[in-house]
Structures are given as structure tokens and as C-alpha cells.
């Protein structure tokens, strides 16, 4: 049995901020310059690769629909996307129960590991008074989540002392790659729990941080915790 987690790793969109739909709409709108079919194709690709950065997704779009495009075309897409997303990130809902869960895990570090743009995230979190919650840092693209996790482990984080909280299959894949425990939050995700269970049957699923917090509280924050002990939160 392990002690309570010393490190909580959070995805951002769909976990901390209700921003998934905002970003899906932005991908669709920006890709329409290449036609409606291209726009819908990008949305489908985006939804199938949740947790992957905009940089990879727009590169995929151009490679498929405009292979002769240049850096300027790529930058236009990135700028279009950033402009559409930024203001909405300042307005979208913050996860209920976030502050309570932070108080509950006060002895642990909190870190953001996101597919969102790192500079954008740090700016938004500062403006929304969220930065102080994440003493472990706020990390995002263009560096991939896998690399961020690798860097944290190299810096001394023990994988068996960490929990990754995400809302995409890629979040679960990244955690598994480093033998980090993970949970899936379903309320704001763009994939449904049935799909998660089909692809990763052992995954613990909660609706949101508030529900997860209650389960952790019932177990006891400073008592031994194992992820399999949390499954009763979904019964």
C-alpha cells in the first residue's frame, strides 16, 4: 500500500477549465479557410487525439490539405486559433471543488501537464488567480506531455507517488507510459466513459474534481490509498 499521493498532475482543458468545446469550435472555424470538409476532418482528428497540441493538429491539416503551404500559412492558423481561444479561456467555468481539493491535498504538489500552449496557460492562470494552486509548475505545448513527464521524473518525482488526472485517452496513455496512476474525469470530456472503459477497462472514472475529492476525503487523505480502492466512487 502506498501513502497518499505526493504529486497531483492535472490536464487543463476538461479538468480545470471547461474549455474543450471552445477549442473544438476554434479548430473548425480556423480550418474553414481550407474548405468545410477539411474543417470537419480536422475536428474529427482533434477529437480522436485529445490532449495533443494545436501545433501537431494544424501541421496534420496542412500536410493533408495543403502540402505546399509554408511557415506563414501555419502561423496564420496558429494566430487564428489563439485569438479565438484566449478570451474564452478567461471566461469559461473553473472546476467546482478545486479549492477544496487543494486544501485537502495541501501537503502535496500540484502541476499542470497540458496540451495547451504553455505561455497562454500561464497567462490565463495568472489572470484567473489559479497560478498559486500549482506549486509544481504549469507546463504545456509545444513540448509534449510525454516529455514533460519525463523531465519531472528526471528531476526527482517518483512515479509511484504521483496521480495524473485527465480527460482524454492520451492522458491515460502518458500516465501508463511512466507507470503513473491515473483517473479520468468525464463531465467535460469529449469522449464518453463507455469508450474509456472499452479501451482502458481498469480506468477509474469520476465525473469531476468535486466527486473525486469526496471519495478521497472518505478514504482519508493521510491514509494509504491505491487507485483500485477508488472504484467505489463510480458505483
| Rg (alpha carbons) of the chain, rounded to whole number | 18
pLDDT digits (tens, 9 = 90+) for 131-165: 999 999 999 999 999 999 999 999 999 999 999 99
Q: Is the peptide bond before 142 cis (omega within 30 degrees of 0)?
A: yes
pLDDT of residue 229: 57
Yes or no: is domain 7-18+94-234 CATH 2.40.110.10? no
Distance CA 161, CA 28 (A): 39
Domain range list for the chain? 7-18+94-234, 20-89
pLDDT of residue 224: 43
pLDDT digits (tens, 9 = 90+) for 58-102: 999 999 999 999 999 999 999 999 999 998 999 999 999 999 999
Cell of 5: 499521493
Read off the pTM. 0.88
pLDDT of residue 218: 74
Contact 210, 97 (CB under 8 A): yes
pLDDT digits (tens, 9 = 90+) for 205-214: 999 999 999 8
pLDDT digits (tens, 9 = 90+) for 178-226: 999 999 999 999 999 999 999 999 899 999 999 999 888 877 543 445 5
pLDDT of residue 227: 56
Q: Which helix (H) or strand (E) holds 159?
A: none
Count of CB atoms situated within 10 Å of the CB of 196:
19
Q: Is the pLDDT of residue 1 over 50?
A: no
Amino acid at each position: 500500500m502506498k501513502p497518499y499521493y505526493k504529486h497531483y498532475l492535472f490536464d487543463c482543458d476538461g479538468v480545470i477549465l471547461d474549455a474543450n468545446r471552445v477549442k473544438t469550435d476554434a479548430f473548425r472555424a480556423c480550418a474553414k479557410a481550407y474548405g468545410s470538409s477539411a474543417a470537419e476532418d480536422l475536428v474529427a482528428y482533434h477529437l480522436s487525439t485529445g490532449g495533443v497540441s494545436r501545433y501537431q493538429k494544424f501541421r496534420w491539416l496542412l500536410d493533408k490539405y495543403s502540402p505546399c503551404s509554408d511557415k506563414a500559412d501555419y502561423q496564420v492558423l496558429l494566430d487564428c486559433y489563439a485569438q479565438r481561444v484566449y478570451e474564452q479561456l478567461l471566461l469559461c467555468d473553473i472546476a467546482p471543488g478545486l479549492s477544496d481539493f487543494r486544501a485537502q491535498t495541501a501537503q502535496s504538489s500540484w502541476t499542470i501537464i497540458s496540451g495547451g500552449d504553455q505561455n497562454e496557460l500561464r497567462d490565463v492562470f495568472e489572470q484567473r488567480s489559479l497560478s498559486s494552486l500549482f506549486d509544481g509548475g504549469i507546463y504545456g505545448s509545444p513540448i509534449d506531455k510525454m516529455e514533460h513527464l519525463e523531465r519531472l521524473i528526471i528531476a526527482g518525482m517518483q512515479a509511484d507517488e504521483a496521480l495524473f488526472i485527465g480527460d482524454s485517452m492520451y492522458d491515460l496513455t502518458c500516465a501508463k507510459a511512466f507507470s503513473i496512476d491515473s483517473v479520468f474525469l468525464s463531465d467535460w470530456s469529449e469522449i464518453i466513459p463507455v469508450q474509456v472503459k472499452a479501451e482502458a477497462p481498469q480506468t477509474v472514472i469520476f465525473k469531476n474534481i468535486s466527486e473525486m475529492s469526496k471519495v478521497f476525503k472518505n478514504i482519508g487523505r493521510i491514509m494509504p490509498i491505491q487507485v483500485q480502492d477508488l472504484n467505489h466512487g463510480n458505483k
